[in-house]
Each structure stands twice: as C-alpha cells, then as structure tokens.
Amino acid sequence: ELLVDFSIARGSGTIRKVMAQYKKYSLLIIDEWLLSPMKDTESRDRENLLRAIFESTPDIITVSTLEDGTFLEVNPAFVQLTGYTREEVLGKSSLSLWIWADPGERERFAGRLGRGEPVRGFEARLRSKSGEERRYQLSASPLVAGGRPALVMICRDITAATEAAAVERKSAFLL
C-alpha cells in the first residue's frame, strides 16, 4: 500500500492538493476539493455529489456509531440487498438485528477498528432479513457524526465471485 500527497499546478496558476492511495490492483485519488473548506455553493455541490454517490452505488453503505454499531444512516442498496427498510434499522445495531452470520467475524472486524487499524477488504458473511447469508467484502473508515465517533462502512457482495472461484477450484482438482 502506498499513500502519496502531491500538488497539481494548473495552467491558470491555481494549485490543487491531491491525495492518492495505491493498493494492489486499485488506485484511489481524493482531490482537495472533496476535503477543503468551501463557500456555500461549493458546499452544496459537494453535498450533492456525495449524496448522489451514496444513493446510486450498488454497494451497501452504512454509517453507524463506533461504540455499539447503531445504524445512523443506510443507503438504498442496503435496503435492496438486506430486505430491511431504512426505518427498521435506524437506531438499532447490527448485533440486535443478527446481521453478522458469524459473531467471530464481527469480533475480528471490531478488534481491528478498535486497534486503529484500517479495514479494507475484510471478508464476512452477513445475513439478510429473510435469513439468507451472503459473503461480503467490507471496508470501513472512522468519522465523527453528530459529534460522536462513528464509522462509515462499504459492503460489496462477493457471493457470486466466491462461488465461481470455488467451482473453478473444484473443476481444476477433478481434471
């Protein structure tokens, strides 16, 4: 993993600060525009951008308290993939809803967060409202929400990819 901060000088003479994070097979670039103080119109533009990302991604995004995992916000993908309504989960924790299929996975995940370790690509089985278990890849970052320590988590459903890899391994073994 490589983290780089750099500046870009534009033809107009303005300088933009940029942060890039390279991790095996992926590159994340965060422009200063997303992180810097701004005027009211810029603030609305940034808020609209982040809201569009939150609402349109096919991955689950949740914001929860760091202390006990109480949901503060969930995106439409969460509603679609878990079967819970937004109203059913806000104010409740993932533990009280039995979302973690394996409590040990949740403990390992929470332990890494508690030690201040970044959590990227953590695999876990999560349970929907109907009881169906699916495999997800979780990434999480701490933040402050409503003046309290919180966590934003992104969950990508990797069930189909995991099952396809298992079939491929089995086929290779039988050959």
Q: What is the pLDDT of residue 92?
A: 97
CB under 8 Å to 89, separation ≥6 — which residues? 71, 74, 78, 82, 97
CA distances from residue 70 to 88, 145, 149 in whole angstroms, order as listed: 12, 12, 11
Distance of CA 4 to the CA centre of its chain: 21
CB-based contacts of 110, cutoff 8 Å, min separation 6: 69
In one-letter notation, the amino acid at residue 88 is E
Q: What is the pLDDT of residues 74-105, one digit of tens each?
A: 999 999 999 999 999 999 999 999 999 999 99
**Cβ 140 vs Cβ 111: under 8 Å:** no
Quote the pLDDT of residue 80.
Answer: 96
pTM: 0.72
Quick one: pLDDT at residue 85? Answer: 97
Instruction: Give pLDDT < 70 ranges for the chain.
Output: 1-40, 173-175
Determine the pLDDT at residue 29. Answer: 44
